[in-house]
Amino acid sequence: MRKVTAMLTICLMCLLGTAACSKEEPPLHPPQKPQRIKIVKPVEVQELEKQEAPVPREQDKGEIPTEEAEEGKIAVAKDIPEMETGRYYIVKKGESLYDVACREEVYGNKLKWPILYRYNMDTLGGLKTEEDVVEKALTEGLKLRMIGHHDVEENLEKRQKMRWVVNVISISKHKEIVPITIKLIKDGHSAYLTQATIKGKAWTRLRVGFFSSRAEADAEKEKIKDLLHLGDPWSIELGEEEFEEFAGY
């Protein structure tokens, strides 16, 4: 009986040992199926980076034009005298119409003051039409418009067949002719002054131009007589020298 019991005990122990040896331990981490990783391009980030302005380096700051610098450039451009373009002259302290007209960069002849007056009626039209108005000092800094060489050449070309003028008056005292000249200019006439020496005496001639025929000049002569009620104007055809000097204005 003891043998049978011992045999059964040994068999039972073998069965339990076999079962214990055949059991597997679970893995620490269960295996997972491999997954594909989607790579997303940072499109939005790149767009934002393009919109952001790069931060300037300390050494580059001086090369970036500031708003104040741009304003400075404009101010300098405005301060450049427009006279340099041949369109304006800036009146200096104490200068009169005579003085300005005499300047070489303007017209180089004081008798050409009517040209300055005619092209600057907006600023000079309010001056009193006195005999000495051309000798009185103008406002310092006043901008007087000048007719450029290009315009003179164009006018000469257009008036090649317009050589008739009206001689309004000839007088030996230049001052007396000033108010008459201004009156003609204000009435819309292209008045100019020239000088001639006859028998040793200097005469200032006030003339109005420029017309294509004697008949046209005579018709204008009658209008001038009605306006001035002075003397007896006459029509004359200009020579080449006087035409070239004044017809461009």
The per-residue pLDDT for 13 is 54
Query: What does the pLDDT look like over 36-60, one tens digit per residue?
Result: 544 444 444 344 344 444 444 444 4
The per-residue pLDDT for 7 is 56
Report the pLDDT averaged over residues 13-22. 44
Residues 6+ apart with CB under 8 A from 98: 110, 113, 134, 135
Clarify whether residues 126 and 98 are in a common domain: yes
Does pTM top 0.85 for this prediction? no
Clarify whether residues 132 and 176 are in a common domain: no
Q: What is the mean pLDDT of the chain?
A: 76
For the cut 90, the answer to whether the pLDDT of residue 33 exceeds it is: no
Query: What does the pLDDT look like over 115-128, one tens digit per residue?
Result: 999 999 999 988 87
The per-residue pLDDT for 129 is 76
Total of domains in the chain: 2
For the cut 60, the answer to whether the pLDDT of residue 20 exceeds it is: no
Residue 37 lies in a domain: no
Clarify whether residues 179 and 239 are in a common domain: yes
The per-residue pLDDT for 167 is 98
Report the pLDDT averaged over residues 12-23. 44
Residue 234 lies in a domain: yes
Residue 176 lies in a domain: yes
- Proportion of the chain above pLDDT 90, given as a percent: 57
The per-residue pLDDT for 128 is 79
* Contact indicator for 245, 115 with CB cutoff of 8 Å: no
**Domain around 203:** 150-249
- Proportion of the chain above pLDDT 70, given as a percent: 65
For the cut 70, the answer to whether the pLDDT of residue 150 exceeds it is: yes
Query: What does the pLDDT look like over 165-212, one tens digit per residue?
Result: 999 999 988 888 999 999 999 999 999 999 999 889 999 999 999 999
For the cut 70, the answer to whether the pLDDT of residue 228 exceeds it is: yes
Q: Which among 89, 121, 147 is the end of a domain?
A: 147
The per-residue pLDDT for 122 is 93
The per-residue pLDDT for 10 is 52
Clarify whether residues 154 and 241 are in a common domain: yes
Clarify whether residues 212 and 233 are in a common domain: yes
For the cut 70, the answer to whether the pLDDT of residue 224 exceeds it is: yes
The per-residue pLDDT for 93 is 97
Report the pLDDT averaged over residues 214-229. 97
Comparing 153 with 54, the larger pLDDT belongs to 153
Whichever domain contains 245, its CATH number is 3.30.70.1070
CB atoms within 10 A of CB 132: 10
For the cut 50, the answer to whether the pLDDT of residue 131 exceeds it is: yes
